[in-house]
Amino acid sequence: MYDSPWNIVLPRAGIAYRLNDKTAIRAGYSRFAVQEIANRSDERINASNGYQQNTSLLGPLNGIPRSYLDDPYPTGGAYPNPIMLAAGNSLGRYTDLGNPWGGFYDGNILKVPMNDRVNLNIQRQLPDQFRLDATWYMMFEHNA
């Protein structure tokens, strides 16, 4: 489906510092590669050919709606728009013939989605064995 990149570096670094007997500060940075399948929404999940079909709602025509909530896909009337059934394997070797194949990437080059994550944590022991824990966390994603 694509050529796997070989030069991905995923560093992780962290530090912990004890301010006093009851307070500790921790900080960390990490980079994670996101799996391609996890980067797709449910609508774009990798579907098998022939088993996926889209039926769109009809938009308004001259300001008159053609789709209603009580029957969004009418089978009759002035503007029929029935739900398109998936062909499945009923067409045999002709399944998906003539349909464009939505390729994943241009030129088989995968840009791996990356998440850079930074966090800062302060932990303080309170009376009666209670503990206060405050965390600041931020994530930056690129190549998505």
- Domains of the chain: which residue ranges? 1-41+108-144, 50-100
Q: In angstroms, rounded to a whole number, what is the distance separating the alpha carbons of residues 123 and 136?
A: 12
Which tens digits make up the pLDDT trace of 79-135?
Answer: 888 888 776 777 777 776 766 555 554 556 667 888 999 999 999 999 998 999 999
pTM for this entry: 0.51
Q: What is the pLDDT of residues 45-58, one digit of tens each?
A: 455 555 667 788 88
Residue 140: strand pairing partners: 116
CB 116 within 8 A of CB 140: yes
Q: Return the DSSP state at 66.
A: -
Q: Is 120 helix (H, G, I), strand (E, B) or coil?
A: strand
